[in-house]
Amino acid sequence: MKHTFLFIVRHGETIWNVQRKMMGKTDIPLSHRGKVQARAIAKLLAGYPIDVIYSSPLTRTLQTAKAIRTNKTTPLILHAALKERDFGVLEGKTYEEAHAYGTPMQYGESKYYPYYQPPDGERLLDMENRAKLFIQELTHHRGKNIVIVSHGSFLRVLFCHLLGLKLDQMGDVHFDNASLSIIEIEDNQPGRLHALSITHHLPKEL
């Protein structure tokens, strides 16, 4: 039985992360700190034999993925399914502003309810459908080491699906910027979690 290892990375920090703004599909680049973080996660992953890298096409994830791709012969594949959740009219708002808007979006609230949809935005169930499509893509790389560079909300949904958790449990999972998580998968079996949101490779002060 071939086991596939997923090396899952959240993009490096952006200014909107610092400002606690909801990015979603808004294309925000890495901050200076985020670029340093991307180089740090690249150094960590250089110790693993990586076969392929998948990335969301948004700038912050692509910058992180390109830093990780130290071996230029490693395929880098942009996949639209890995984009962040579309937060609709709430994009660019802080969490506090989202509350003032009348929409509860903090952790543990309706952001994590599968059927909740921000105005003009996306439900968690919509993201889960994207996650399922992406996982089907991974069957082409059985037995390989795969890096996945994506976004906080999408990665929570992906984790729930891979590990057999319910979507309303996703609030229990958090991914720091430029963190590394590792899941081992095999056909038709729940994933095996080896590491969650490792950050020891990141500089303590920037």
| Residues acting as catalytic residues | 11, 84
Contacts of 202 (CB under 8 A, 6+ apart): 37, 40, 41, 176, 178, 179
Residue with tokens 């459908």: 129
Phi, psi of 55 (to 5 degrees): -140, 145
Sequence ranges of the binding site for substrate: 10-17, 60
| Residues in the annotated binding site | 10-17, 60
In Å, what is the CA distance from 98 to each residue of 9, 78, 89, 178? 27, 30, 9, 25
**Cβ–Cβ under 8 Å, residues 130 and 81:** yes
Q: Which DSSP letter does residue 191 get?
A: -
**What is the three-class DSSP state of 159?**
helix
Q: Are 79 and 137 in contact (CB under 8 A)?
A: yes
Q: How far apart are CA 50 and CA 35, in angstroms?
A: 21
Residues 6+ apart with CB under 8 A from 92: 16, 21, 22, 26
